[in-house]
Chains A and B, each alone.
Chain A
Amino acid sequence: GDSVTQMEGPVTLSEEAFLTINCTYTATGYPSLFWYVQYPGEGLQLLLKATKADDKGSNKGFEATYRKETTSFHLEKGSVQVSDSAVYFCALGGTSYGKLTFGQGTILTVHP
C-alpha cells in the first residue's frame, strides 16, 4: 500500500539557516505529493503541492520537487525564520480521491 517516510525530528535551527526535510514515498501509479504545515494552535494547512513528476511546488519561500526516479519530495527553504516553527507533514494522494497518506510529521523549531 501507499506509504510516506519523513526524516525524523525534531529539527532545531538558527534563524537564516538552510532547511531540508527529507520525504520519500511508496505508491503505485503516479501520486500527487503535498507538504502540509501545522502552526502552533492552528489546523493543518496546505503549504505546497506537485501533481506530476518533475513539478516544483513553492510557497512562502519553501520549495519541493517531485522526483519520480528517487521517489522523493524533499522540502527546502534557503533562510528560515522564527515564524516557520511548526510541524511539517509530507503526504501523498494516490488512487483514492479522498484519501491522503501522511508521514509522521517533523517538528521544526527556529531560534533567533
Chain B
Amino acid sequence: GAGVSQSPSNKVTEKGKDVELRCDPISGHTALYWYRQSLGQGLEFLIYFQGNSAPDKSGLPSDRFSAERTGGSVSTLTIQRTQQEDSAVYLCASSVTGGAGKGTEAFFGQGTRLTVV
C-alpha cells in the first residue's frame, strides 16, 4: 500500500509477557518515528531513526522498551515484561527525509492498540 502500515492493529497481552509491534514505512522514506498515544496523556515521542545514524532514543520510558530498524526499512518496537501502564496506541510515522521536528511532513500509520491485562 501507499501509506505507513502497522501490525497488528490490536494486541491483547498478559502482564509480564513480551510484545513486538511492527511498522512498514512508506517506501523510500529515510526517517521513521515511534509515538505512544495514551488516554488522557496525548502523544508522546518514543524514538527516531534517520538513515544509518544512531537513533534518538530519548523518549523511551524505560529499558523494557527497545526498537530496531532493519535494512533502513521495517521497524520493530519491543516491549519486554509488559505492565498495565503500557496500554496505549502505538503510532509509527515516516518522512521522506529526517526532521519532522524541523518541518518535514510526517505520515502516520493507524497504530497498534495494545491492551495489557
List residues of A whose CB falls within 8 A of some B CB.
32, 36, 41-46, 49, 51, 89, 91, 93-105
Q: Is B73 at the interface (CB under 8 A from chain A)?
A: no
The answer to whether B106 and A46 touch across the interface, beta carbons within 8 angstroms, is yes
Among A49, A94, A105, the residue within 8 A (CB) of B103 is A49
Choose among A36, A43, A96, A103 the residue with the greatest number of B CB atoms under 10 Å from its CB. A43
| Contact pick for A43, options B44, B48, B103, B107, CB 8 Å | B107
B interface residues, tally (CB under 8 Å): 30
Check B4–A101 contact: CB distance below 8 A.
no
Say whether A43 contacts B108, CB under 8 Å.
Answer: yes
B91 cross-chain contacts in A, Cβ below 8 A: 43-44
Task: Say yes or no: B100 contacts A93, CB within 8 Å.
Answer: yes
A-B contact pairs, 12 of them (CB 8 A): A32-B103, A44-B106, A46-B106, A94-B101, A95-B101, A97-B100, A98-B31, A98-B50, A98-B101, A99-B101, A103-B42, A104-B42
